[in-house]
Each structure stands twice: as structure tokens, then as C-alpha cells.
Structure 1
Amino acid sequence: MGSVRAVVDRVGPTLLHVVHLPEHCPTVADVVIAEPGGRGHLAAGDLVLGVATTDPAEAVELIRHSGQRAAAAVLLKPPLPGRPAIRRAARSTGIGLVEVHAGTSWAQLVWLLRTVLDAIADESETLENGGDPGASDLFRLADAVASVVDAPVTIEDTNSRVLAYSARQDLTDPARVSTIMGRRIPDDVLARFRSRGVFRELSRGRQTIFVPAQQDGTLPRLIVPIRMGGELLGSMWAVVSGPVSDERAAAFADAAPVVALHLLRRRAHADAQRRASAELLRAVLQGKAGPRAALAELDLAEGPHRVVAVDTARGDGRDVTDGEGLRLALLERISHGIGRRPVATELGGLLYAVVPEAGGQGDWPELRAALGSIPEVRAAAGSAGEIDALARSRAEAEEALGLLRAGLVPGPVVTHDDVWTALVLHRAATAAAGADVTALGPLDRLRAHDRTQRTEYVDTLYQWLRHPGDPRRAARTLRIHPNTLRYRMRRLLELTGVNLDDPDVRLALLTQLIALHWR
């Protein structure tokens, strides 16, 4: 038996969302459908489905009755779980409250919940070993569907990646062979299907889509979308010799709900593994877990790695991704087509990824190029080092990202190694500001004159000192004429009486100006 949280996580967020759980998470024993009126024979550990419950008062009564029988949780469809009275009833009764997606079929949900309970009981050993409990089932299911439609079948996700395929190969073409070999529909084949409107029809919810043979020798396809709760989870593709009878097409489509349940199980398992990896990586990056011990669990290879910090906040401070789930979805987008997905986690509003320094697919050069192609993100990488140095690399990535956010270095992607000059100046400025060096000498007088007279003597002096002996370049930086630069320098020397022929004076002034500009 598993807890309510474990069952909900297995089913996944597409169908279920926890609204309330008591501090001691209840264990689930069975799934029951509540009788009309909220009464019925309930037992300890039951997941109670409010199938006929539509009235808030009935929902409150069902929760109280279920709590008296020590049921594990009550499942309701919106808008009921959002009502304050219903949430209060769940809290006061000490029972779990779970929201069911509005478009979910209750019959399919009962089947899926009982399948999950069986899986939790039967597959604990598989899960402990890190295996995918649904992988082999999905291939067997592809074989079963192939016999139903009497044609070779592939099961694919929404990114056209092959999740499973039937063993039957009696009818095939180069497109199917390359799809199975590459575990994804090739780009040129995708383009041909896209030009025929296949993916547009999939998104519209058509039950079956028939694509005739193409001039390049690609055989006809019968395609069925896989949906659950209104969400497109993937599709099934059958290679057929020609038009398919309505009976065979209907039988093919009837298999989609069963495949959807398997895809949800697969997704829930992957999500659980991803959450565990993210938690472990967070601990490693914070120095709370030994990186060597986490090496195998995070599936990191030996060799130098970098920590990459990705900032998704726009210039106005709003986050373009709006939360951890979407930050990780952004990582899927970034890493699509570059090989294996980087080990990643979310921490303090930033997305962190650990990538190998070099050596092939998914390494830092590939991720850097992918990040640079997305205008709404900024990213910085720490220096490359062995696994033991991940916490240090994270600190370096954050320091470099701070310069990028402040506009002190050009972006959108930088590495700690590349911006060392800016880092030296920034650290020097921070230390100098802490020592209050800007309060010494004539600089305060110059700053006060700029404020009251609307002059720009401080910036002029800074650029003059940055470009010694090159007034034309200093003037270009300030976007003024060289004669204007010379006039300003005469005026500020008259105002301050400072001796710029003394190298120590120049060095002291430059230190003060760096403290102003680079903090």
C-alpha cells in the first residue's frame, strides 16, 4: 500500500492535484465511489471518489462522513475543491482532499488508481533499482495494438520521440526504419507530415487521421492521438498499405485510452525520478551532500563539469517561466536536439544545470549555443572542474550572472573564465566601497558639482583615466567631441586643483571611480 501523496504522484499532475493533506499522510487501501448523499460503506484507507457530488453542502457532508470512517482522501472535481468551506472541512476532519481534472473520465480514473495501487505493491523492487515500470509494458502494448490494427505500430510522445514500437515489421518503409533507429521521426519526414497538416489535426482532437502514400515512397499512415483529461500525451502511428476500414480504424482508436494510462504512469515515474534527482542536486550544490556519493545517482560521468545558472526574469523583474515546473520545461526546450538532458534543479528562483565541459552531445559548448538562441534568458557558467568542485562552480556561476544582470558584461551567455577582468574590477570595487574610499580626496566635490550643475565631470574623468594618452577614444566612449573632452578636463582641474601628472594620484582616482562604476 502507498500513501495518498505516492498515489497522486504516480498518477501525475495531469489528472490529480493535492489540495490538502494532513500532517501524517494517510495510506491508501482501496478506491471506492461514494454513494449519492455522501453515505455508504466506507473503510479505513479508502480513496473516496465523489462522482455524483456537485453541491458544496453534499461535498462537506461526504468529507465529514469519510473522515469518521478514517478514509484516506476524498476526490472531487472543480470548482468544489476550491471552496473555502470544503477546504475547512477537510482540515478540521483530518482527511486528504484531492482535485480531479475537470475533463477526466471517472471510469478511467478508477481503473488507473487501482492499477497504480497494484503497481506500488508489485513494483517496489523495480523502483528501488531505478527501472522504468512501464517501459516493457509499453512495447507489449504496441504489439497488441499492432495485432488490432493489423499493421506495424509506433507509440510516440508529443515531441515525435519514439517511446515503443511493435516487433512486427512485415510492412515498412525508410521513414519507419529511420524513425525506429533514431528513436525519433527524422526532421525531413516531420516536415512532410507537417506540410500535410497532420500535427494540426492531432492538436484538434481528430479520432483518426489517414495520410495517403507520398511520392518519395513513404507508405500510408493511420494516426491516432493519445489523450487524457483533454491533454495530448502523444500519438500512435500505424504503417498501412492503403485506406483502412471504419471497423479497423475504430478498433485502433479504442486502444488510445489504454495507451494513455501507460503514458501517464511512465510520466509520473519519470517525474518522481526527476524530483529525486533535483533534490539531490540541490543538496550537492549547497554543500549538504557529498558529490562523490551522488555521482552514480545523478548519472554524471567522470571528468570536468560546469554548473550553469539560468535566469529567466525579464528586465521588468517578471519571470517569463512563472515557476519551477515551467523552468524545467524551459530546460527541455533548451536541451531539445543537443543530446541527453542535463541534470538540473531549481534553487532560489534560478535554474541550475550540470553539464560536462566537453566530449560530445549535451556538453557545455552545445548548451551554450542553445541558450544563446533564446532571447528571454540569461545564463552564466562557473569554471570547469571535477565533481568535488560543483559547489564552487555554482558560486562562480552566480557571481558571473550577477555581472550579467547588472549590465556590467555583455550577454546573454557568459562563463566565469571569460569575464575575469570584470570580476577583478567588481571585487575591487566592492572592497573599496566597504572601505569608504570614495569619500576621500576631491571626488566628493566633483560628484556634488555634477549633481547641482548637471555636468558630467565624474564620467569624463573616468574615461580619461581609462584611455590614457588617447583622448579621441575617451571622447568616442562618452559620445562627445574631443574638444569637448579637453574643455571638461580643464574645467574639472580648475575645480579640484588635482595634479594628474602624479601617477599615484591617477591610480587613487581610478580606484575611487572603479568603486563607483563597478559596485
Structure 2
Amino acid sequence: MSDRPRASLRRILEDLGSTVLDVAASPGELDTEVTGVHIYDPLDELLLPAGGILLAVGVDRPDQVCALLDAAGPAAGVIVKQPFDADDRVRAKVRQTGVAVLGLTRAASWAQVAALLRSLLAEGDVTGSGEAPIDDLFALANAVCALLDAPITIEDRSSRVLAYSGRQDEADASRVETVLRRQVPVRYRRMLEERGFFRQLYRSREPIYIELNDDILNRAAVAVRSGDEILGSIWAAVREPLSPQRRQALADAAAIVALHLLRQRAGADTRRRLRADLLSTVLAGGADAAEAAGRLGVASERLCVLAAQLSGDGDLDAARRESDGQRFCDALALHVGAIHPKAAAAVVGSVAYAILPMHGSGEEEARAVWVAESFLTRVGPRHAANIGVGRMARNLAEVARSRADADRALRVLRAREASGAVAGYTGVHFESLLLQLADLVQAEEQTPTGPYERLLAYDAEHGSELAATLRAYLDAFGDVNAASATVHVHSNTFRYRLKRLIEISGLDMADPDARLAAMLQMRIFGR
């Protein structure tokens, strides 16, 4: 058993390897425990907790790095984009502060390294102890790499990379891209599917050998199973078929990986359920909200609630919807956590909720809307989602109201059939009220009354469109020319229809209450 911290800088560097990170300047030992990942924003005050890793986006000069090291306090490390020249000033500052400077390879993006680091930290949390488990996926990948003399990746059913070994630079460009993105590129996955390799892999209980083209090394692969369930696969980049001994080693590794994935899934499910339960308690705003907020480590004052939901996933099976929803929520949690260390997110039901602490600028809801919009921009069209934003809650007792606001704003977006949209509650307040009125009308089985009812009955009997004429007229504030253009008739024809509908319905156009009643009924009954 190792006595190093489960998430030390040394372990992260060993697991990620020089393909992603390298040491630019070291204070000596690299056994500092890493507690979280944070993104540098020059516009925000730098409040970095002990053990945090700071992603120094846009920082490339030695004097800037020295200033960050002074401000980073008890951080574990600062990551800068390569190429970076750590001069004598930087090295001296590193020794003085004890904060390491790491270099991120030029080919990797900040989003990729944030996801990699967060995955490694979550990996360490599975054990609940201070030691790295014997069957840790990265350690196992390195062990299989040594046995097979080939670089290894361990992937899930969606070809997302869960862990990988060293020596990836000995493989081909597709493998390096896979490791950096933590996902097999679509073009390679499609090629494997079209040539039937996935079908062959999942049907076989033994390792298979896959011959590719001149640009890509061949692969040896084995499915990772739990009974009949496929959990993932192990892939080795090789130049020739494996010997019988190495085939057996790969098969044995698959059994160990299966145990690890099952345990990891159980641990992750338990933690997620606990976070969801605690967040649900905070959102309810009852007597237990303060205790739940304390256990979650979230702020208790000046909060906004975000309610996010994937759109357009009705055609997916339940398991895929749940998986996509949880992955989306993980991305949301990373995003709000980078903005404020006391934010939190979890899936409650089918909605991903986030609690976001806000500064007292007086424009909290607008700021929260901006946070939501920036998140959807970052995740891109791959996650078609809508987000509703509640009003600012001054304390935990008002969080339930902010959550209700966010739910109502999200419902307005669904009613609009929007996708990839954000709405603050105050911006959609009237639409939300109309939806609530429609709920009341439906629950009490109410029907149209008065002039509007008479118009609907006349239209149904005679095949006319007098109700549509009235709606166009009211929507155009009585502008006959604009209203007639809306329904595509001549203005004289429109005037005749308007006169006819007044005769039939008995609607007093001079009475503002009568006009309002007709407009509300048209909106609520949706005819």
C-alpha cells in the first residue's frame, strides 16, 4: 500500500503523464494533497482554498506567474499553458511559496485538463480513505501496459476514457487525441462501428485483435463485463497479435476492471444520492435547510437557484436519459464551482438544480442569467438544454421561492418549445402567471365564457375565423392595417369581419375590462 495522499500532485502527474502535464518549476516534494480545481479570472478576487489547483488561463509571462504565486496562498499548484519559460524569478518564487508551477501541453484545452483533474479527484473519493486503492484504474492501466508492453486505455460503453497508462506517445495520433479529449473521436468510433469491431468485441468473452490501416496502430481489445452487462472495454495499441500469455493477462485485467467499475458506480451513486437529498432539503428551505447546507458546504445567504433540463431527449431510453442528465449535471457543478467555491449542483428528479451564491451588486438575477448562458455556450449544441433562473434569495428561508421561480421560468421555456435558452423569472413573469392560470382552469374543468365563447361556437358551426380576427385586432392594438396583414386579408375584408364578430359576440370594444377578458381567455384556452 502507498502512503502518499490519494490526490497528491505527484499522483496526478503520474496518472496524467507528460502527454498532458509536466513540471515547470517545483518547490521540491510534490506530495501536497489536492482538494479542488479552480479557474483564474482576473476580474474576480482570487480566493483559493488550501490544496487547490489554479488553472491560469491567459497567463504566460513570468511576472504574471510570480504575482499569482504570491496571491495563491496555500495552493497546491498553478498550471500554465506551454510553452512557458520558468526563469530564475519563477523558480525562486516557487521555493518561497511552496506552490508548484505545472505546464499544460499546447494540444490540450483548459476544459480538457479541468475535466481530467476533476475525474482524478473523484476517482480518489471512491475509497473514502487516504490511500490510493490497489486496483486504481490508472495504476491498473500502467500495470497492464507493463504486462503487454503496449499503451493502454480503459473506456466505458460510450468510448469515454476512464483511465490510461503511460507511453501514449508511442501510439498513434488517434490515441493521443483520445487521451487528451477523454473520448474516442467520432470519426474513429464510426469507423470501428462500420467495420463491425464493436459488435465483435461485445460478443466475445476473449480479447480480440483488430487490424486497422497504415496510419493507426492495430488494437487488441477486450470487453469488461459483469455477467451479461457490458461495463466498458480495455484497448491496447499493438503492432502484432498478442501472445497467449498476454491474451490471458488482458482477460484477467478485464475481470479486475469490472470489479473496480462496479464498486466505483456504487460509490458514485451513493454520493450522488446523498448530494441530491441534501440539495433537495436546502431547496425546500425548511427547518433542516441550514444543517443540509452545512453538510454540502454551500453558502446560506444571497443565493440564486438555477433549474436546468436537457431538451429533445424524448426519443432516448430511460437509462440513456439518466446518464446524459447526470453527465450534464456534473458539467454544471464544475461550472458553478469554478465561479464560487460554495456553489453546489445535483439532479433532483429530472432537473439539475444549482445553488449559486451571488455578490450584493443589486443585479443578482441578471448575473445568474449570464452564468447560465455562459455555461450553455461552453457545453455547446451537444447538450441541448434550457435553464430557468430564480430571483435572489437573501437567506435559506427564501431559497424555496427562488427554486419555484426557476421551475416556473424553465416551464415557460418548455412551453415555448425552446432549446438552448435561458430565462430569468422576472423576464417571464407574465407568461408564468398565464401558465398557472391555465393549470387552475384545467383542474376545475372550466370552459370559455361570454363573447369569446360565442365566437368559438359560431366559428365551429360556420367554419369562419372570427376568433382569429379578434386576436389579430387586439394583438395589433386596434391597428386594422397591421392586423389584416397578420391574417393575410384585405383591410376592408378585415373591417367587415370585425363588425360581424362584434355583432355576434356582443363584445364592447370600448370597455378595457371586456378586451382584457377576451385576451386572457384566448391566451389561457389557446384557441
**In structure 2, C-alpha distance between the alignment counterparts of 1:450 and 1:237, rounded to whole Å:** 67
| 1:372 aligned to which of 380, 384, 393 | 384
3-state SS of paired residue (2:136): helix
In our comparison, the structure showing a higher alpha carbon Rg is: 1
| Residue of structure 1 equivalent to 2:152 | 153
Paired residue type of 1:363: F
| 1:225 aligned to which of 223, 226, 235 | 223
Q: 1:320 to 1:275 in 2, by over 3 A?
A: farther
Q: 1:133 to 1:231 in 2, by over 3 A?
A: farther
Kept after mapping to 1: 8 A contact 2:284/2:399 = no
Q: 1:173 to 1:310 in 2, by over 3 A?
A: closer
Matched, 1:363 2:370: no
**In structure 1, C-alpha distance between the alignment counterparts of 2:142 and 2:379, rounded to whole Å:** 37
Q: 1:293 to 1:439 in 2, by over 3 A?
A: same
- TM-score by length of structure 1 reads 0.57
- How well do the aligned residues superpose, as a CA RMSD in angstroms? 4.8
Paired residue type of 1:209: I
Q: 1:128 to 1:329 in 2, by over 3 A?
A: closer
| Residue of structure 1 equivalent to 2:253 | 255
3-state SS of paired residue (2:500): helix
Q: Report the alpha carbon displacement of residue 177 of structure 1 after superposing the two structures with TM.
A: 4.1
3-state SS of paired residue (1:419): helix
**How far does the alpha carbon of each residue in 1:68-112 deviate from its partner, in whole angstroms, 9 at most, with x for none?**
xxxxxxxxxxxxxxxxxxxxxxxxxxxxxxxxxxxxxxxxxxxxx
Alignment of 1:109-128 (within 5 A): none
Q: 1:326 to 1:391 in 2, by over 3 A?
A: farther
**In structure 2, C-alpha distance between the alignment counterparts of 1:340 and 1:403, rounded to whole Å:** 26
**How far does the alpha carbon of each residue in 1:156-195 deviate from its partner, in whole angstroms, 9 at most, with x for none?**
2223333233356794444444444444444555455556
| 1:513 aligned to which of 499, 507, 518 | 518
Paired residue type of 1:245: S
| Residue of structure 1 equivalent to 2:164 | 165
| Residue of structure 1 equivalent to 2:389 | 382
Kept after mapping to 1: 8 A contact 2:157/2:233 = yes
| Residue of structure 1 equivalent to 2:89 | none
Kept after mapping to 2: 8 A contact 1:307/1:390 = no
| Residue of structure 1 equivalent to 2:360 | none
| Residue of structure 1 equivalent to 2:274 | 276
Structure 2 runs not aligned, ≥5 long: 1-123, 337-344, 357-367
**In structure 2, C-alpha distance between the alignment counterparts of 1:291 and 1:484, rounded to whole Å:** 65
Identity of aligned residues (%): 33
Matched, 1:491 2:500: yes
Structure 1 runs not aligned, ≥5 long: 1-124, 374-378
**How far does the alpha carbon of each residue in 1:23-81 deviate from its partner, in whole angstroms, 9 at most, with x for none?**
xxxxxxxxxxxxxxxxxxxxxxxxxxxxxxxxxxxxxxxxxxxxxxxxxxxxxxxxxxx
Q: 1:380 to 1:142 in 2, by over 3 A?
A: closer
Alignment of 1:81-230 (within 5 A): 137-167=136-166, 171-187=170-186, 190=189, 193-194=192-193, 196-205=195-204, 207-212=206-211, 214-216=213-215, 218-230=216-228
3-state SS of paired residue (2:477): coil
**In structure 1, C-alpha distance between the alignment counterparts of 2:279 and 2:171, rounded to whole Å:** 44
Kept after mapping to 1: 8 A contact 2:474/2:519 = no
**In structure 2, C-alpha distance between the alignment counterparts of 1:335 and 1:154, rounded to whole Å:** 25
**In structure 2, C-alpha distance between the alignment counterparts of 1:220 and 1:271, rounded to whole Å:** 36
Q: Report the alpha carbon displacement of residue 482 of structure 1 after superposing the two structures with TM.
A: 3.9
| Residue of structure 1 equivalent to 2:354 | 354
Paired residue type of 1:345: V
Moved more, 363-372 or 233-242: 363-372
Q: Report the alpha carbon displacement of residue 276 of structure 1 after superposing the two structures with TM.
A: 1.3
**In structure 2, C-alpha distance between the alignment counterparts of 1:462 and 1:169, rounded to whole Å:** 66
Q: 1:311 to 1:222 in 2, by over 3 A?
A: closer
3-state SS of paired residue (1:363): helix
Q: 1:182 to 1:301 in 2, by over 3 A?
A: farther
Kept after mapping to 1: 8 A contact 2:221/2:233 = yes
